[in-house]
Structure 1
């Protein structure tokens, strides 16, 4: 089968389209014929091996343990392993796996749920990781309540577009932060207010929010806290910068250490791949409360260009790779 493979860490130049063996489903596994996959920030980190902390966490010290990139996937079940009860060949599914930038991918059955009836497979591929992260940031880490004021920083990105819609679905008053060219998009997905960060500083202390969700940002904690209500909560989702060893994780660690000593609640999010959360997202999508935003699509052979496009900050919503 065709797959995007890399044997060493580096820029997108290390990625190659190759023929490799088709995976076989083990016991409890589902083999999916991939129709589409999506690019998230984690793809870049796993490709480059940065920050180095990632390598120490078991992804491979000198070379990647998993050679095929991609984690978000949608497609049709090709075959099932022994003990699988939820799916059968031909079912359309979406979910999370290792190595979705390929013609076939395999994962345990609890990593998949049926594709929402009102989405195409391309749209469904844009959902799993980013929407799950947004859900857990708002509901679990942020403990969002109806009527609260929420600020989503990075509202036009993959996680941000889902966070805006989910916060509205949960009954919040939502303000999104993005660049000039993306304000119309953020407004169109339900934000009550949109702030162009190139013209206004949302952390100048003049506006305050019950919950601030910072997606892959790099603003200092001291400035982010200026945007919080007296008992407000800050949730940091990812982050960039911070050096080659720790990347954005150093900001998360500082937030967790500072939180017990201030009135604000400061948290970092480590998302968990829960089957029940994928099912929750499916139900919200089918109810018309959430929809993926796809800003660009690329064929499998152009996956390196898709990753570069995302990393350069050009994307609106999700970048999808069709197979």
Structure 2
């Protein structure tokens, strides 16, 4: 049986290889043996693995899986053979999600509705988990809030927009290209009143457009209640890759009183003037790390509740993820290299 693994060279370069692996013959009390039908590819966070002392010679790749239960452990109560399931392999998993068969703890899986495809389920589960973590857990969104989603046409940004609109939040979103802007302007819900999901699309690809002015204009000068970024520019002299990212000062400037800034920037540095501005607004900064759900057993029930809610919203059409056409296993290595370099705009799912 083959799986996809990440290997670090001595020079620190990331290389992806498909290699043979085997399933343990014994199944744990609370483990489930799943035949994988679809596995989504997400970038491997090498630094996070190092911080958590999970660095190995070969890091398993592909953690978001959907498949059919083949066998359950003696103390498993949630599932039985032939159930269709979706879930996320833990960070310390020994097996790649691209193996034909994987062993996974029952507390990392939920039932997959019949009408949801394998590829939609696997492709949406992690981005939707991030959206829930950002909006519900960290930002405490409520009806009437105004949300700014940076790079709204990304897989994560799209699900954040759909979740916020469902809960009665006014959504603003940035577009990093003209194509993304047209896509966001045409977004409509699959059910209910066919109003636009995004109240205003801000085309940051156009140098004439000012992000702060656009947000303040849309909110009557009050500022937005919640901002979710995809990274920020910390200094004037940054790489060309970050040219569409806002400066941290801009984000703080467009936040309203009591606002929440949810950031994906793990090395964010706030200067004293930035902190002073946040203090004057009684605003807060939260760091988005969806892997934290596995850090405490006390959070396990809420984690499962979120995943159940995600698949229900997939079944009703509230969530419509950005998923590429499924790719075969022999193309997984090339696809993963592109995913790691963040060259693809849609979520890639491997068909097994």
TM-score normalised to the size of structure 2? Answer: 0.77
Q: CA deviation at 1:212?
A: 0.6
1:35/1:75 contact within 8 Å kept: yes
Q: Structure 2 vs 1, CA of residues 27 and 2 (structure 1 numbering), >3 Å: closer, same or farther?
A: same
Residue 28 of structure 1: aligned partner: 30
Equivalent residue of 2:53, what SS?
helix
Of the three residues 60, 71, 77, the one matched with 2:69 is 77
Query: Which residue is 1:149 aligned to?
Result: 146
Contact 1:113 1:279 in 2 (8 A): yes
Where does the alignment leave 5 or more consecutive residues of structure 1 unmatched? Answer: 240-248
Deviations 1:43-99 (A, max 9, x none): 2x2xxx2x3x64032222xx34x6321111111112111211111221111011142
Q: List alignment gaps of at least 5 residues for structure 2.
A: 189-196, 217-222, 234-245, 295-302
SS in 1 for 2:115: coil
Partner in structure 2 of residue 89 of structure 1: 81
RMSD (Å) for aligned C-alpha atoms: 2.5
Are 1:214 and 2:229 matched, yes or no? yes
Following TM superposition, by how much is the alpha carbon of 1:203 offset from its aligned partner in structure 2, in angstroms?
Answer: 3.5
- The Cα offsets for residues 295-317 of structure 1, whole Å up to 9 and x where unpaired, read as 35322222232223334444334
Residue pair 1:186, 1:194 contacting (<8 A) in 2 also: yes
Is contact 1:31–1:107 with CA below 8 Å preserved after alignment?
yes
Alpha carbons of 1:269 and 1:230: their partners in 2 closer, same or farther (altered >3 Å)? Answer: same
Q: 2-side partners of 1:254 and 1:37: how far apart?
A: 41
The correspondence for 2:54, drawn from 55, 59, 67, is 59
Cα 1:11–1:117 change in 2 (3 A) is farther
Cα 1:156–1:309 shift into 2, 3 Å: farther
SS in 2 for 1:33: strand
Query: Residues 241-320 of structure 1 correspond to what in structure 2 (within 5 A)?
Result: 249-251=266-268, 258=275, 261-263=279-281, 264-271=283-290, 272=293, 274-320=303-349
- Superposed CA deviations along residues 214-256 of structure 1, whole A, max 9, x for unmatched, are 13454442221122113321111x23xxxxxxxxx1117889x
Kindly provide the CA deviation profile for residues 161-192 of structure 1, in whole angstroms up to 9, marking residues without a partner as x: 11010011111111121222222333325222
Cα pair distance change 1:89/1:6, threshold 3 Å? same
**1:107-145, CA deviations, whole angstroms, 9 ceiling, x for partnerless residues?**
110111111333110111012211111111011111111
Aligned to 1:18, the other structure's residue is in SS state strand
Q: For 1:116, what is the secondary structure of its paired residue? A: coil
Of residues 164, 168, 187, the one that matches 1:167 is: 164
Select the structure of larger CA radius of gyration: 2
Q: SS in structure 2 opposite 1:251?
A: coil
Larger displacement relative to structure 2 (107-116 or 214-223): 214-223
Task: Name the residue aligned to 1:245.
Answer: none
Structure 1 counterpart of 2:258: 231
The offset of 1:206, in angstroms, is 5.3
